[in-house]
Amino acid sequence: MSLELRHEHGGLRHYLEGKAVHCGEELKLLISAGGKPSYWVWARYEATFQQDCISPILYTTFGRVIPDASTRLRWPSEDEQ
């Protein structure tokens, strides 16, 4: 699932699977490299706000990721927390 940008009464906010994503939240990011198996890694969500624009950044153990429409994220399961 990708991040979905919605307008709220307080401004813009990203949602994932119908749940609001807040700065500092830990998500799971799907990593895929060519024909190799895919796997999920931890990614901390942060965002910068400028008037009517929100720029998300995912911080992982291997660096920063700027998500786009093809970025696959999910909430961690109970046993991963």
Residue 80 phi/psi, 5° resolution? -95, -5
pLDDT digits (tens, 9 = 90+) for 43-57: 999 999 887 788 999
- Domain spans of the chain, in order of start: 4-76
Residues paired with 15 in a beta bridge: 4, 20
Res 30 pLDDT > 90: yes
pLDDT digits (tens, 9 = 90+) for 8-28: 887 889 999 999 999 999 999
| Tokens 């965002």, residue located | 47
The per-residue pLDDT for 68 is 92
Res 81 pLDDT > 90: no
Identify which of 41, 33, 35 has the alpha carbon closest to the alpha carbon of residue 64.
41
CB 65 within 8 A of CB 30: no
E strands, the chain, are 4-8, 11-16, 19-20, 26-31, 39-50, 53-60, 63-65, 73-74
